[in-house]
Amino acid sequence: MAKLYFRYGTMDSAKSMNLLAVAHNYRKQGKTVRLLKPAVDDRFGRDTIRSRSGLARKVDLLIHDDTRLDPAWFEGVDCVLVDEAQFLPPPVVEDLRRITLAPGVPVICYGLRTDFRTRLFPGSKRLLELADRIEEVKVTCTHCNRKAIFNMRLRDGRPALDGAQVELGDAAYVPVCSACYLARVPLSAVAVQGDGSPGR
């Protein structure tokens, strides 16, 4: 049976580069790949998956809040690759789960696990609930050599807890380990801020 994969990592863990490398390998073997991405992510062009290394490829399907996936569209496809999967609406994650059963296509989703307040994104939460395999894409902390597990939002070089959960244009993010995050952002402060509201 085809599997649903969730490959998660912090910012700057080369998730998009990994996805593009997988797409290249499939296509080099003459196989058919579909690239999907949430429309909300327009940092590098709305219809493009781009890594910070410079690799880029056009997407085959942009996912909107009301998108539903027709399994027939994936007949004859060898693999589905999804970038920025944390932004997926949960019903789309459920559609991807069904696609692994019929027509039986493996689906590999890449994305963040948690936001800058250490809270799960809705898409990531549903993937953690439904995925057959959950794999971590690792990177080291910005401040030390430990493994990064959190994303810290910065404003004017200082940690910030304000703003919407999804904020792509004005904020900077860095990957940090738990010790470096908690040294700068106490969990009590995160709890006071709450979950935030989606938006931009």
Q: What is the pLDDT of residues 103-129, one digit of tens each?
A: 999 999 999 999 999 999 999 999 999
pLDDT for 192: 54
Distance spanning both ends of the chain, measured CA to CA? 38
Residues 134-174 have pLDDT tens digits of 999 999 999 999 999 999 999 888 898 877 777 665 468 99
pTM, full prediction: 0.90
- Residue 80: predicted pLDDT: 98
Mean of the per-residue pLDDT values for the chain?
A: 90
Average pLDDT over residues 81-98: 97
Q: Mean per-residue pLDDT for 16-24?
A: 95
CA atoms within 13 A on the CB side of 32: 8
> Is 50 exceeded by the pLDDT of residue 89?
yes
Domains of the chain (ranges; CATH) run 4-136 (3.40.50.300)
Task: Tell me whether residue 167 is one of the annotated catalytic residues.
Answer: no
DSSP summary character for residue 195 = S
- The predicted pLDDT at position 103 comes to 97
84, 129, 135, 167: the active-site residue: 84
Contact 4, 131 (CB under 8 A): yes
For residue 94, count CB atoms less than 10 angstroms from its CB and return exposed for 0-12, middle for 13-18, buried for 19 or more.
Answer: middle
